[in-house]
Structure formats: structure tokens, C-alpha cells
Amino acid sequence: MSAVAGAESALIGPNAIIRTVEALREIAGAAATDDLLTAARLERYREEFPATMVAQDDVTALYRAVRERIDEPAASEVARLAGVKTAEYILANRIPKPAQAVLRLLPARLASPALLSSINHHTWTFAGSGTVSIVSRPTPRIAIEGCPICRGTVSEAPACAYYTASFEGLFRALVSGRTRVTEVACEASGAPQCTFEIAF
């Protein structure tokens, strides 16, 4: 995969599709989910979930359809539940159990930069063509410039609850159960990047 792939050809991990469709079915029901996927020209995901990386454009189209076709607060609930499910999937399948045990044993101030470092090594799985920048001190932050979740969206409120909940799920499991993640700036509201602040 080219590191300079443009937004058109960028790929992203399949969780953003799979977990979002699962969340849609739970919150909006199977029929509404099928209608939404058809409207977004993503009907191929009605019957079968992707097994490999997907086109970033599919993720953008799916979240645009969620915002257009599902009323608030249900749309935000869908995004949030999809993020929770993504964190659960990553914890069950992607982070080795011994590494998780070490992080849980560490004090939060040490576990946090270790988890952020791991996230920094896996940005290709969730950010597509977006550019991720991470700082661990003084306030831990993850910023995504060119965010695929809110691309093309204009919104007063932060629009990327999928990421908020994904990061929060990982931090609550591995750093501190009290972690709160807040999207403090969003490209959908005109910010230069989507910024997720982490407090624990």
C-alpha cells in the first residue's frame, strides 16, 4: 500500500463498516439498515461483511448516510455503539493478552503513553488518508487531519463519535476505567483537524 495514496484510493480497516452496520441493526433495525445501505450504494455489505481493508470512501458514505437518514440522538448512538464495538473487537482480537495485562498493571500515567504509541503504529487501520498526530503530554490528544468519518459534513456539534468511543473503550479497558474522551475540535465544524482529548 502506498503511503501517499490519495483520498480516492485510500483504504481503511473493515471495523468502521462492520461495527457500524451491527450498531445500525441494533438501534435502527434490520429493515432501516438495509434501506440506508442501499441509499448509500453500499448494498454489498447487506449480505456479507468485508474480510479485508475497505475503501475509505465507503466509510465516508456510510457515515454521511447515517447522518442524513437517522435522526439525532439515534445517529450519535449508532456512531458511539460502533466505536464501543470496535474497541471490544480490538481488545478481543488485535492486542495480545500479555500486552494488555502489562498495560493494566501500569499506573495510568505510564500506560497512557504506551497505548498511544501502539495507536500511533496502527493509524493505517483507522485513519485512511488522514494524517494522525498524537501527543501524550500534558493532555493526551489524538488528532486526525482529513478525517474520513466527517469528510464533507458540516455540523455545529462534533461529528466523530465513532472515534471518540473507540479510543475511550481502549483507554477504559487498558489505562483507567474513568477515562473520558471528548472531541474538542472537529473538521465538520471548521477546525483544521478532529481532535480527541483524553482525560483519566
The whole-angstrom separation of Cα 132 and Cα 143 is 6
The whole-angstrom separation of Cα 59 and Cα 137 is 31
The distance of closest approach from Cβ of residue 67 to Zn ion in the complex, given in angstroms and rounded to an integer, is 12
Cβ-based nearer residue to Zn ion, 75 or 194? 194
The distance of closest approach from Cβ of residue 20 to Zn ion in the complex, given in angstroms and rounded to an integer, is 15
Q: How many CB atoms lie within 10 A of CB 3?
A: 5
Asked if 194 touches Zn ion (CB under 5 A), the answer is yes
Q: Which residue has the cell 457500524?
A: 20
User: In this structure, which long-range contacts are made by residues 176-185, counting pairs with CB atoms below 8 Å and at least 24 apart in sequence?
Assistant: 176/108, 176/111, 176/200, 183/158, 183/159, 184/158, 185/158
Cis amide leading into 158 (omega within 30): no
Site for Zn ion in 23-82 (CB under 5 A): none
Cβ-based nearer residue to Zn ion, 99 or 135? 135
Cβ-based nearer residue to Zn ion, 13 or 103? 13
Q: Which residue has the cell 464495538?
A: 85
The distance of closest approach from Cβ of residue 155 to Zn ion in the complex, given in angstroms and rounded to an integer, is 8
Cβ-based nearer residue to Zn ion, 194 or 198? 194
Q: Which residue has the cell 433495525?
A: 29
- Choose which of 164, 186, 195, 196 interacts with Zn ion (CB under 5 A): 186
Please provide residue 181's backbone torsions phi and psi, each rounded to the nearest 5 degrees. -110, 135
Cβ-based nearer residue to Zn ion, 42 or 160? 160
- Choose which of 70, 78, 132, 160 interacts with Zn ion (CB under 5 A): 160
User: Which cell numbers hold the place of 46?
Assistant: 447487506
Cβ-based nearer residue to Zn ion, 174 or 194? 194
Q: Choose one: 41-49, 63-71, 75-83, 142-150; the region binding Zn ion (CB under 5 A).
A: 142-150
The distance of closest approach from Cβ of residue 183 to Zn ion in the complex, given in angstroms and rounded to an integer, is 6
The distance of closest approach from Cβ of residue 63 to Zn ion in the complex, given in angstroms and rounded to an integer, is 10
**Count of residues touching Zn ion (by CB under 5 A):** 5
CB 152 within 8 A of CB 127: no
> 120: exposed, middle or buried (C-beta count within 10 Å: 0-12, 13-18, 19+)?
middle
Contact residues: Zn ion, CB under 5 A? 150, 159-160, 186, 194
